[in-house]
Amino acid sequence: MARGGLAMTAEALASLAGVSKVTLSDFEIGKRSPHPRTLAAIRAALESAGVIFVEENGEGPGVRLRRRERPTAPDGGPT
């Protein structure tokens, strides 16, 4: 879900996280569980790309995308 929200390919996320595409794909389809350091690398890569991980809040954990800064004109107004 997080990768899809970013429109990021598996290849791009794997590269950012420093893991192989096969490792990432196996994790995404539930074929295997990642080592803690691999999971931390994937999470860090997603966070650097704009994903915010939301902790359990009664509805379950989730993710959302960080707001993108809107460009402003030199006078401070919207462009």
Q: What is the pLDDT of residues 45-57, one digit of tens each?
A: 988 888 887 777 6
Partner residues linked to 64 by β-bridges: 52
The distance from CA 76 to its chain's CA centroid, rounded to whole angstroms, is: 31
Token pair, residue 53, equals 């991980």
Residue 33: phi and psi, rounded to 5, are -100, 140
Question: pLDDT band for position 76 (50/70/90)?
Answer: low
Question: How wide is the angle at C-alpha 26 spanned by C-alphas 17 and 44, nearest 5°?
Answer: 20
The mean pLDDT value of the chain amounts to 80
Rounded to two decimals, the pTM is 0.70
pLDDT score, position 34? 86
Q: What is the mean pLDDT of residues 26-49?
A: 91
Question: pLDDT band for position 14 (50/70/90)?
Answer: very high
